[in-house]
Chains A and B, each alone.
Chain A
């Protein structure tokens, strides 16, 4: 609210209650994670779903491939029993051309009624960043909601493996050539640094690094997020305590405002590195769309089939958050 914009968000049912629009189209990710279906179940319960598109992201071949196929196959059956013929599943390669993703989203927008709910819970950043951009920038999308379901728990070991070189997320390369130095590098703190520290040091040594620390992380995430900070610290000493900014992990709007503040209302030349929770990454995506800054990541080649399991419940209902991004054709960010 620092910017004066009211950006409604909260528990799915709380936000949904206040929306006039009742007919929506749903865009989600068919994945190995149990939470992939939580939001669409709620959406089906509370809205009239006109159509749904689920993207099944095909990782690179790995030792996990068979297990991923098995889990995805079971989840596809769940989806079929929930949505019947009103949904489509499209397979896209994780490291495939973003043009195919753009085509899929453009076609989905074309058949939609302009009201779209996007579930980012299980999408890799390489997918949900471009999706958000395409939906946000499309004049045909009048109302855009993003939802995020919390898992019951994350896998104890590595969540992803074999990161590629540090590169832009597709569609998030700044168009301008940076003739001036990058002033700010804003890093979302996650579980695995994936080679980020040395890359930061190599390419943006002059930039002031700020870490957006998800708060409260809660055990066992607490230890893993601090390990991430420690990893950065080893390579890139953080000169003062202000370099770590604690942001409410669920508050996309607040996180967006933090980034605005850190970059002097977006006027500083900045780059973003979304290694943190999806909601924080969502704020980064929205900021980058508006201010045209580059978003960089070391994209893993594949994810663990047990990335997360279960769905978190709060007082008997699944903990799913809903964020209003566009209402009546107006962007709230």
Chain B
């Protein structure tokens, strides 16, 4: 029986693994980019699903701190930043969406405002309760050393003293009765939360008047808790108190019955941050566009300012490759995660971190090698070139011979002669006789290599070949979840491919090209199904399909390879930001937020013009048989064109008819050599 395991099958979502596994699998590689999380000051942690937001926030949670302690593993935060406690709320899991459901069509503005204040009160009580839970967990017998490292006094008498002082604070506006013990305090907080949940569950028709009359101001009790923890000697003066608010992106969706409830809740959260209290610092986990450009503050005309009121950690930006490869940390993170997975599944190896992926996946194939695999037989090689009837016979003979010897070079030669022949007649009659041929020039070749492979695969009805560390890292697009997803599928394909072979479950695999390519294609097709989740999912999926097929058709039909960078589009920024184009901008933002598209600033070929460029997420590219690399200029488009594409994509036009449309309207002209 085959006992080999897929190291990536279970636990592939690192953000949600159990505490003990977290310790083994958490990679500290990103830590240096996220140090702001462990220092005073408000931080907005932005990232896509699976980018690791929750994982980084989890490092603040007491359960994870205890797990590191229990496993006797060094906590991956700098020693001088380890003095902190945290409490928090996950806006989705805590059920705050139910607040919005209480709004009826025609509900008065006053009612919505009252409900917003109740939301703030609920958040206060929940977070304070969670802070107290943190103290309870870490002050348990057996964690004295850890408590001391954090700066927690575990003497129950000081807990009680703190509880009494807190219950007497004005910040509760009469919502708490005076208590004598920590337990009593927890029980009162809990009772209030239960009342809220009963109300939200419609088990009671209205909240007790004692709650309605004692709504607290957002952030205030939290701040007082932090202050009293220190003044009552529960916490050392220099112990930081961090408040985690995760799934902030839930809030904008709470605008029920055409109210502004969700936006008001966002503004309320901003209000908590606006206090810029030295006592507590907030950490907000949010998708990119959920966090507004101008975060307005509830009941004021002001808004929060970046760098003054908060700083931003953009995980995707930090992990995605910039124009320059230098300083790109994702490959190191991926290697580290890879090695941890393999160790956990008991593969035996003694390789250094930087060579393990190469060792398992093998050396990356050159375009030339890939082309020979794509068109292996002599017969198939003869059909890689699309000859024009009016080409001189000597060119046809030359290309036919070259395509058998070197199909990759022949494909480039075909493009070269189509391009040059358009400009002047001379190249058509003078065949280059010696190597290096003009189409072997370094950049000319490099810019067209991917497109040549797309065309070779298409002519021969083959899938593209995806293989090696660079493809794996590149297709991951800086997202560790996608990296693991790809590994999972490669591993599955390898296990299937070698099921009859006698391979020890401890032997480090050498995964062949076919298994890698198949695994990656499967992963891509699976990932393509994913956008059917989330807001406007159907339209997004239809649009993705349209974009994918559009660029496949463009790349395949552009025999002259005049536009090898057309696997994405670019839009002028001023047009995109115009009010009249809100619909398209919001739609593209949504697609970017869900990771369907990758967006970046585009340096226009027109001097001074600002543009944004958009590409399909690299993981989706194998499913559409298009390259994930961004070479040369993307397609320059107007917002109107994208609006049209969005519209068309929802009209379920068949792909063949779309292909005709593209050929007729949008494709670059196919040059006739003898025009």
| A residues in contact (CB < 8 Å) with B | 63, 96-100, 102, 130, 161-168, 170-177, 179, 194-195, 198, 201-203, 205-206, 234-235, 237, 298
Complex CA gap A168/B257 in Å reads 19
Given contacts A98-B101, A165-B250, A201-B16, contact A175 B526 (CB under 8 A): no
Please give, as numbers and ranges, the residues of chain B lying within 8 Å of A130 by CB-CB distance.
202
Contact A175 B198 (CB under 8 A): yes
Given contacts A97-B256, A161-B538, A165-B250, contact A170 B101 (CB under 8 A): yes
Q: List 30 A-B contacts (CB under 8 A).
A: A63-B650, A96-B105, A96-B257, A97-B101, A97-B104, A98-B101, A99-B102, A102-B202, A161-B532, A162-B536, A162-B537, A163-B533, A165-B97, A167-B92, A168-B95, A170-B201, A171-B201, A171-B202, A173-B201, A175-B194, A175-B198, A177-B193, A195-B532, A198-B13, A202-B15, A202-B16, A205-B16, A205-B18, A235-B13, A298-B533
Please give, as numbers and ranges, the residues of chain B lying within 8 Å of A206 by CB-CB distance.
18
Contact A173 B197 (CB under 8 A): yes
Complex CA gap A177/B133 in Å reads 12
Query: Would you call B369 an interface residue if the criterion is a C-beta within 8 Å of the partner chain's C-beta atoms?
Result: no
Please give, as numbers and ranges, the residues of chain B lying within 8 Å of A194 by CB-CB distance.
533
Query: Would you call B200 an interface residue if the criterion is a C-beta within 8 Å of the partner chain's C-beta atoms?
Result: yes
Query: Would you call B216 an interface residue if the criterion is a C-beta within 8 Å of the partner chain's C-beta atoms?
Result: no
Given contacts A99-B102, A202-B16, A206-B18, contact A237 B197 (CB under 8 A): no
Across the A-B interface, the 6 shortest Cβ-Cβ residue pairs:
A195-B533, A175-B197, A205-B16, A202-B16, A173-B95, A237-B10
Interface string of B1-23 (1 = CB under 8 A from A): 00000000110110111100000
**Which residue of chain A lies nearest to B249 when distances are taken between CB atoms in the complex?**
A165
Contact B92 A205 (CB under 8 A): no
Besides A201-B13, A205-B18, A235-B13, 19 other A-B contacts (C-beta < 8 A):
A96-B257, A97-B101, A97-B256, A102-B202, A161-B537, A165-B92, A165-B253, A166-B92, A171-B202, A171-B203, A173-B98, A173-B197, A173-B201, A176-B197, A177-B194, A195-B532, A205-B17, A234-B526, A235-B12
B side interface size, CB within 8 A: 43
**Which residue of chain B lies nearest to A130 when distances are taken between CB atoms in the complex?**
B202
Q: How far is the CB of B557 from chain A (nearest CB, A)?
A: 31
Please give, as numbers and ranges, the residues of chain B lying within 8 Å of A102 by CB-CB distance.
202
Complex CA gap A203/B12 in Å reads 14
**Which residue of chain A lies nearest to B13 when distances are taken between CB atoms in the complex?**
A201
Please give, as numbers and ranges, the residues of chain B lying within 8 Å of A173 by CB-CB distance.
95, 98, 197, 200-201
Residues of B616-650 at the interface with A, using a CB-CB cut-off of 8 Å, are 650
Query: Would you call B163 an interface residue if the criterion is a C-beta within 8 Å of the partner chain's C-beta atoms?
Result: no
Given contacts A97-B101, A99-B102, contact A175 B201 (CB under 8 A): yes
Q: How far is the CB of A82 from chain B (nearest CB, A)?
A: 31
Residues of B83-133 at the interface with A, using a CB-CB cut-off of 8 Å, are 92-93, 95, 97-98, 101-105, 126, 129, 133
Please give, as numbers and ranges, the residues of chain A lying within 8 Å of B9 by CB-CB distance.
237
Residues of B163-217 at the interface with A, using a CB-CB cut-off of 8 Å, are 190, 193-194, 197-198, 200-203
Complex CA gap A243/B93 in Å reads 25
Complex CA gap A116/B92 in Å reads 35
**Which residue of chain A lies nearest to B652 when distances are taken between CB atoms in the complex?**
A63
**Which residue of chain B lies nearest to A173 when distances are taken between CB atoms in the complex?**
B95
Complex CA gap A170/B93 in Å reads 14
Contact A163 B537 (CB under 8 A): yes
Please give, as numbers and ranges, the residues of chain B lying within 8 Å of A298 by CB-CB distance.
533
Q: How far is the CB of A110 from chain B (nearest CB, A)?
A: 15
**Which residue of chain B lies nearest to A63 when distances are taken between CB atoms in the complex?**
B650
Complex CA gap A177/B132 in Å reads 14
**Which residue of chain A lies nearest to B190 when distances are taken between CB atoms in the complex?**
A177
Q: How far is the CB of A98 from chain B (nearest CB, A)?
A: 6
Q: How far is the CB of B235 from chain A (nearest CB, A)?
A: 22
Q: How far is the CB of A238 from chain B (nearest CB, A)?
A: 10
Complex CA gap A234/B485 in Å reads 10
Complex CA gap A130/B101 in Å reads 14
Please give, as numbers and ranges, the residues of chain B lying within 8 Å of A164 by CB-CB distance.
253
**Which residue of chain A lies nearest to B194 when distances are taken between CB atoms in the complex?**
A175
Please give, as numbers and ranges, the residues of chain B lying within 8 Å of A235 by CB-CB distance.
12-13
Complex CA gap A201/B49 in Å reads 13
Please give, as numbers and ranges, the residues of chain A lying within 8 Å of B105 by CB-CB distance.
96
Please give, as numbers and ranges, the residues of chain B lying within 8 Å of A198 by CB-CB distance.
13, 533
Contact B13 A202 (CB under 8 A): yes
Complex CA gap A179/B137 in Å reads 11
Please give, as numbers and ranges, the residues of chain A lying within 8 Å of B198 by CB-CB distance.
175
Complex CA gap A32/B234 in Å reads 62
Complex CA gap A168/B97 in Å reads 9
Q: How far is the CB of B489 from chain A (nearest CB, A)?
A: 9
Given contacts A161-B538, A162-B538, A176-B194, contact A168 B98 (CB under 8 A): yes
**Which residue of chain B lies nearest to A170 when distances are taken between CB atoms in the complex?**
B101
Interface string of B548-569 (1 = CB under 8 A from A): 0000000000000000000000
Interface core residue of A162, A194, A206 (most chain B CB under 10 Å) = A162
Interface core residue of B54, B532, B650 (most chain A CB under 10 Å) = B532
Residues of B519-538 at the interface with A, using a CB-CB cut-off of 8 Å, are 526, 532-534, 536-538
Q: How far is the CB of A285 from chain B (nearest CB, A)?
A: 14
**Which residue of chain B lies nearest to A178 when distances are taken between CB atoms in the complex?**
B93
Contact A170 B193 (CB under 8 A): no
Contact A99 B253 (CB under 8 A): no
Residues of B61-97 at the interface with A, using a CB-CB cut-off of 8 Å, are 92-93, 95, 97
Please give, as numbers and ranges, the residues of chain A lying within 8 Å of B194 by CB-CB distance.
175-177
Please give, as numbers and ranges, the residues of chain A lying within 8 Å of B538 by CB-CB distance.
161-162
**Which residue of chain A lies nearest to B90 when distances are taken between CB atoms in the complex?**
A203
Contact B104 A100 (CB under 8 A): yes
Please give, as numbers and ranges, the residues of chain B lying within 8 Å of A172 by CB-CB distance.
201
| Set A97, A162, A237: member contacting B102, Cβ < 8 A | A97
Please give, as numbers and ranges, the residues of chain A lying within 8 Å of B103 by CB-CB distance.
97
Given contacts A175-B197, A175-B198, A203-B93, contact A99 B16 (CB under 8 A): no
Q: How far is the CB of B137 from chain A (nearest CB, A)?
A: 10
**Which residue of chain A lies nearest to B63 when distances are taken between CB atoms in the complex?**
A181
Q: How far is the CB of B229 from chain A (nearest CB, A)?
A: 20
Q: How far is the CB of B439 from chain A (nearest CB, A)?
A: 44
Complex CA gap A167/B98 in Å reads 9
**Which residue of chain B lies nearest to A298 when distances are taken between CB atoms in the complex?**
B533
Please give, as numbers and ranges, the residues of chain B lying within 8 Å of A175 by CB-CB distance.
194, 197-198, 201, 203
Complex CA gap A63/B538 in Å reads 11
Complex CA gap A206/B536 in Å reads 31
Please give, as numbers and ranges, the residues of chain A lying within 8 Å of B190 by CB-CB distance.
177
**Which residue of chain B lies nearest to A231 when distances are taken between CB atoms in the complex?**
B529
Q: How far is the CB of A291 from chain B (nearest CB, A)?
A: 14
| Set B54, B104, B526, B537: member contacting A99, Cβ < 8 A | B104
**Which residue of chain A lies nearest to B651 when distances are taken between CB atoms in the complex?**
A63
